[in-house]
């Protein structure tokens, strides 16, 4: 390139920046004010859900043909990031709607998509994802929930654990064993409705963070559903579950960077105003070094997450690696950044009168769900060793 010749550096398209501005405006006005209360009461923030639904940010990923906004993977990540910046619990509304419906988008029949994506797009229902069990967490293939064919129906029995938004969601993607002799190839996926006879829920878990998003067990006691509610072919459920996570780990990365951004924003404002030893805390070099590291880690995480979102949208062959890398790196960064934010506020950071301690507690789960970061490192290593990356 000749000296002085101009070129475009990497930047988000204008329409994505516009989405960010719109989400931030809505969240600042109508989501952030409910964040502390949702954490304190451990109740689902319905006011935040109503605000997101009114602005069409509750399930932005659903295609236009089903009444959705048709947001691409990057736009969806930005929505989740901006909601998480205001309230991590509320960010699980668009994030889990994507998690629950992604199996249908990947493997569901046209009829199943129309039947279940349409009400979610309209904001009339939410969708949860039921993979984990009491004895099958990281080792999901060891699940014991069973689905037995009975004429034109399937009968499901089992227990699912750690189900986000359980009891609030109307619809559930449930993974169950249909062939006990085939291990992962004997698992199938189904749509279960909250109103189906035999569906019930455990007590809400008492969690460290994301308290405004209910986490409960889902009990399936002889739940009889029509045969056409199977997602994809019999025996393909586990493959669908793993493909789903390739895409939705990007949304957890987005959630993590949103939480971290909220903590960094608050810490910056605090140290600029707080005075000690006759000057603003922000003027101390040690504090500046902390802020610099926080900002650097956050931006590195954001760029990796956006790159992974692009790969998700295109369905690139190396999405498995990049989805795991983005989720792992961003969540580790978020935990470090939120912890440092608490440190920068000193004793005040340790109290509930300030939001950074909530953000630190909320950040922790991003290192755990949709595959622990130890599992993410296993995934990445296998991809590297196999030559997939």
Give the residue numbers annotated as catalytic, written as ranges: 370
CB 154 within 8 A of CB 168: no
Length of the chain as a residue count: 389
Element (H or E) spanning 106, and its range?
helix 88-107
CA distances from 8 to 11, 12, 17, 301 (A): 8, 11, 16, 22
CA distance 59 to 52: 9
Q: How many CB atoms lie within 10 A of CB 149?
A: 13
- 9: DSSP letter: P
* DSSP string across 211-233: TTS-EEEEEEEEEEEEGGGEESS
Q: Is 215 in contact with 205 (CB distance < 8 Å)?
A: yes
């Amino acid at each position: 390139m000749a000296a002085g010749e101009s070129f475009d550096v990497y930047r988000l398209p204008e329409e994505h920046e516009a989405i960010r501005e719109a989400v931030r405006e809505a969240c600042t006005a109508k989501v952030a004010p409910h964040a502390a209360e949702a954490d304190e009461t451990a109740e689902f923030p319905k006011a935040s859900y109503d605000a997101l639904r009114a602005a069409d940010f509750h399930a932005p990923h659903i295609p236009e043909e089903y009444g959705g906004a048709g947001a691409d993977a990057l736009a969806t990540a930005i929505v989740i990031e901006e909601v998480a910046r205001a309230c991590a619990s509320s960010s699980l509304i668009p994030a889990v709607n994507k998690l629950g419906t992604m199996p249908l988008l990947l493997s569901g029949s046209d009829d199943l998509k129309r039947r279940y994506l349409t009400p979610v797009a309209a904001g009339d229902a939410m969708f949860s994802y039921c993979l984990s069990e009491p004895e099958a967490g990281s080792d999901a293939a060891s699940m014991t929930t069973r689905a037995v064919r009975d004429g034109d129906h399937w009968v499901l029995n089992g227990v699912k654990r750690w189900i986000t938004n359980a009891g609030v969601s109307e619809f559930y993607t449930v993974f169950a064993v249909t062939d006990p002799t085939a291990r992962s190839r004997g698992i199938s996926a189904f749509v279960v409705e909250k109103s189906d006879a035999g569906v019930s829920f455990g007590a809400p878990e008492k969690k460290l963070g994301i308290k405004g998003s209910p986490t409960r067990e889902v009990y399936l006691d002889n739940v009889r559903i029509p045969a056409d509610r199977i997602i994809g072919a019999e025996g393909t459920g586990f493959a669908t579950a793993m493909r789903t996570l390739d895409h939705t780990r990007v949304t957890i990365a987005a959630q993590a960077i949103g939480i971290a951004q909220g903590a960094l924003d608050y810490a910056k404002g605090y140290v600029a105003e707080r005075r000690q030893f006759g000057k603003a805390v922000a003027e101390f070099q040690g504090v500046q070094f902390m802020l610099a590291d926080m900002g650097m880690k956050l931006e590195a995480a954001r760029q990796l997450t956006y790159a992974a979102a692009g790969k998700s949208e295109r369905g690139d062959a190396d999405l498995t690696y990049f989805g795991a890398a983005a989720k792992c790196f961003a969540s580790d960064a978020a935990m470090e950044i939120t912890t440092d934010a608490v440190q920068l506020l000193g004793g005040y950071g340790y109290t509930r009168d300030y939001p950074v301690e909530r953000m630190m507690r909320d950040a922790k789960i991003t290192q755990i769900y949709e595959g622990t970061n130890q599992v993410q490192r296993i995934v990445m290593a296998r991809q590297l060793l196999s030559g997939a990356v």
